[in-house]
Chain A
Amino acid sequence: MQTMIQLEGVDKVYRTDRIETVALSSINLDVKAGEFVSVMGPSGCGKSTLLNVIGLLDEPTKGRVQLNGTAVSSYRDAALAKMRNRELGFIFQTFHLIPDLSVADNVEIPLLYRRMAGAERRKLALAALERVGLTSRIHHFPSQLSGGQQQRVAIARAVVGSPRILLADEPTGNLDSQMGDEIMHLLHGLQKDSGTTIVMVTHDPRLADQTQRIVRLFDGRQVQ
């Protein structure tokens, strides 16, 4: 099976005038296409940093990152932005919906940065909302939705552009267990129906056990 995400010898070090913090050290990770992987570890172990590096939101200090067979080390801002737009979708713990935009407009955001007519964007947004069961709320604003609904909108936004990779940072962290289960059900559905590769950061062993593989981190290093 094709390797969708490949990290080789990745370090991430944060340096200030006084302190040097090693967030990641010698990370080697291969994630196959269509795999659902969870990342676990104590607070501050580098889980979110790992996700940011995979998601091209942060540059590794050392090492190589390949997505879908493409090495991205030499990519500049515009190329990285394009890669994120085409290949990646993000789901955040705090949803990060834009409060001034309606549900439909929030979902359309990734499509704004592609050459696409407004009607086509709206069609895809509605289709994504249908997958998460929220077509009745397209004109609502985030403040008018429950936490679970907001996260479903965020998932719709993440998948509207049909990315090959979904990165979810504690997607159920702000939800109760029932809503959390609904979200996990959606994610599993995406993996099964679309073959989307999913990397999920979680604290919850119950959710991690539902995934195909668990990557454990401790103090920035991979542990067994």
Chain B
Amino acid sequence: MLRSYLKLAWRVLWRRKFFTLISLFGISFTLVVLMVATAVLDHVFAPLAPEVRQARTLGIFRARMIGDHRSQTSMPGYQLLDTYARNLPGVERMAIFSMAQTVYSYPSGQRIKSLLKRTDAEYWRILDFTFLEGGPFTDQDVANASFVAVINQTTRDRFFGGAPAVGRTLEADGQRFRVIGVVPDVPVLRLVANGDIYAPVTTAKSDAYTRQLMGGFGGLLLARSPADFPAIKAELATRIRAAQLPDKQWQRLFAPAETFFESIAGNLFGGRDDERSHPERLWAVIVTAMLLFSLLPAVNLVNLNMSRIMERASEIGVRKAFGASSRALVAQFIVENLVLTLVGGAAGLSLSALVLRALNTSSLIPHAHFTINVRIFLYGLGLAMFFGLLSGVYPAWRMSRLHPVQALKGASR
């Protein structure tokens, strides 16, 4: 029976070419937008080299200080992380890194803009960079404030024309660094790992950062296992609640340990006094946005399907006369609709790949490498099938309710 339905589905699509084209356009366009959005979200949040240990890594990405009449929200400062986030129970390694800052270099009279990130040595042990040349800086380099740097591939191309860079020097932000390692480019949307030049945190121009509770740094906590997360979060919260605040106008400080997704949610949905991140709200927003975006073309497709069904009322009457139950007719129509949406899905997938390739090759998002991997493909397939069901169920149900006598007369109820 399924083969018969598929055969009929194919012939119906082929007979009504114009309707089929309109439907396919609507489906594939919707899917392109949803797939590209999914690919971008996956690119930002899913494990991606060098952040391959995400499953057991928490970050400290935000902090808020609250006073009677004001509050201050920013990234945590070095002092907060160094004082309160070290030696947490269940944490295997802890790293501190600065957010990338824009710096300028002027080799041979040209101006080069780069993102400079300062880190400690543990940063390189938590993240899993593959080195194209050399290796990372060590605890000794950090302790000695050695002016060494790891650079990315693009920086090697810009400064050294792509030639081997280890042992050579470059100047950035008025400081001279000796290159000791080269790593592949990390997409700019990966805020933890992205950078053009990585230097030891102790090479900052001033040591004022060591006395700042708030601003400009992030922490990485590599847990022994995800099971340690609750204990790590609880202990950090306890320590920070007891933290010494800079002056009496501040009453409270919090800086939760959380995933990057949770930190985004916390920035969007966390209340003034609420240190919880509410990731479920961010999920709800994403899912709702996707559903709403799918709804319009789905409703359109429902309308198109309804008129298509009414044209086939006579066929429905015949099938009922010869023993088709309502369930069989619903199944037939849903199969037909799924065929349409899967064809649209395939078209959408192909177009998505083209759009993503165009995004990758454009300079819109530096070092972006959006892909359609197995996970994205399955999301896309799931979306197409969801779409097929969403736009097929109601028309199929209406069709199955047609009175056979009326249907044979070609009328609708």
Which residues on A are within 8 Å of B, measured CB to CB?
52, 55, 57-58, 77-78, 81-82, 84-86, 88-90, 92, 96, 98-101, 105, 108-110, 112-114, 118, 157, 161
Proximity bits, B303-329, A CB within 8 Å = 1, else 0: 000000000001101111111111110
* B4 is an interface residue with CB less than 8 A from chain A: yes
A81 lies within 8 A of B314 (CB): no
Q: Tell yes or no: B1 within 8 A of A by CB.
A: yes
Binary A-proximity of B5-28 (CB < 8 A = 1, otherwise 0): 001100110010000000000000
Residue contact A109 to B11, C-beta cutoff 8 Å? no
Smallest Cβ distance from B319 to chain A, in angstroms? Answer: 7
Q: Are A113 and B323 in contact (CB under 8 A)?
A: yes
Q: Given A57-B405, A77-B325, A84-B323, are A96 and B318 also a contact pair (CB < 8 Å)?
A: yes
Which residue of A is nearest B3, CB measured? Answer: A118
Q: List 25 A-B contacts (CB under 8 A).
A: A52-B405, A55-B321, A57-B404, A78-B327, A81-B326, A84-B321, A88-B321, A89-B322, A90-B318, A90-B321, A92-B318, A98-B8, A100-B11, A100-B12, A100-B15, A101-B8, A105-B8, A109-B319, A110-B322, A110-B323, A112-B4, A113-B322, A113-B324, A118-B3, A161-B322
In addition to A90-B318, A98-B8, A114-B323, 16 A-B residue pairs with Cβ atoms within 8 Å of each other are: A57-B321, A57-B404, A57-B405, A58-B404, A78-B327, A82-B323, A84-B321, A92-B318, A96-B315, A96-B318, A99-B15, A100-B15, A110-B323, A112-B4, A113-B322, A157-B322
Determine how close the nearest CB of chain B comes to the CB of A25; give it in whole angstroms. Answer: 18
Give the chain A neighbours of B11 by CB distance below 8 A: 100-101
The one of B12, B322, B327 in contact with A109, judged by C-beta atoms closer than 8 angstroms, is B322
Residue of B nearest to A110 (CB): B322
Interface of B, secondary structure class, is: helix
Given A96-B318, A100-B12, A109-B318: A81 touches B324 (CB 8 Å cut-off): yes
Query: Closest 9 CB pairs between A and B?
Result: A85-B323, A100-B11, A113-B323, A110-B322, A81-B325, A57-B404, A96-B318, A78-B325, A90-B321
Nearest CB of chain B from residue A150's CB, rounded to whole Å: 13
**What residues on B are CB-neighbors of A78 within 8 Å?**
325-327
Q: How far is the CB of A111 from chain B (nearest CB, A)?
A: 9
**Range class of the B interface residue count:** 20 to 34
Q: Bound state CA distance, A98 and B319, in angstroms?
A: 10
What residues of A have a CB within 8 angstroms of the CB of B404 in the complex?
A: 57-58
Name the A residues within 8 Å of B322 (CB-CB): 84-85, 89-90, 109-110, 113, 157, 161
User: B150 in the interface, Cβ–Cβ < 8 Å?
Assistant: no
Indicate if the CB atoms of A105 and B4 lie closer than 8 Å: yes
Chain A residues closer than 8 Å to B317, beta-carbon distance: 96
- Residues on A with C-beta less than 8 A from B326 are 77-78, 81
A105's partner among B7, B15, B327, B403 (CB-CB below 8 A) is B7
The residue among B3, B323, B327 with the most chain A CB atoms within 10 A of its own CB is: B323
How far apart are A196's CB and chain B's nearest CB, in angstroms? 16
Interface residues of B (CB under 8 A from A): 1, 3-4, 7-8, 11-12, 15, 314-315, 317-328, 403-405, 408
With both beta carbons as reference points, the residue of chain A lying nearest to B15 in the complex is identified as: A100
A residues within 8 A CB of B408?
A: 57, 92, 96
Docked Cα-Cα span, A99 to B319, in Å, equals 13
Minimum CB–CB distance for B321 against chain A, Å: 5
Beyond A52-B405, A100-B12, A101-B11, whether A113 also contacts B321 by CB under 8 A is no
Bound complex: CA of A114 vs CA of B328, how far in Å?
11
Establish whether residues A100 and B320, one from each chain, have CB atoms under 8 Å apart when the complex forms.
Answer: no
| Distance to closest chain A CB from B74 (angstroms) | 65
Whether A57 lies near B320 (C-beta < 8 A) is yes
For the complex, give the distance between the alpha carbons of A196 and B3 in Å: 31
> Using Cβ atoms and an 8 Å threshold, which residues of chain A touch B325?
77-78, 81-82, 113
Chain B residues near A99 (CB-CB < 8 A): 15
State in angstroms the CA–CA spacing of A57 and B324 once bound together: 12
Give the distance in Å from the alpha carbon of A113 to the alpha carbon of B327 in the complex.
11
Inter-chain contacts of A118 with B (CB < 8 A) = 3
Residues of A within 8 Å of B12, CB to CB, are 100
CA distance A99 to B8 in the complex (A): 10
The residue of chain B having its C-beta at the shortest distance from the C-beta of A158 within the complex is B322
Of B11, B317, B403, the most chain A CB neighbours within 10 A belong to B11
Q: Which of A55, A85, A109 has the most CB of B within 10 A?
A: A109
Identify B8's interface contact among A55, A77, A100, A157, CB under 8 A.
A100
Cβ–Cβ < 8 Å partners of B15 in chain A: 99-100
Q: How far, in angstroms, from A109 to B327 measured CA to CA in the complex?
A: 16
Which residues on the B side are within 8 Å of A92 (C-beta)?
A: 318, 408
Contacts of B320 in A (CB 8 A): 57, 81, 84
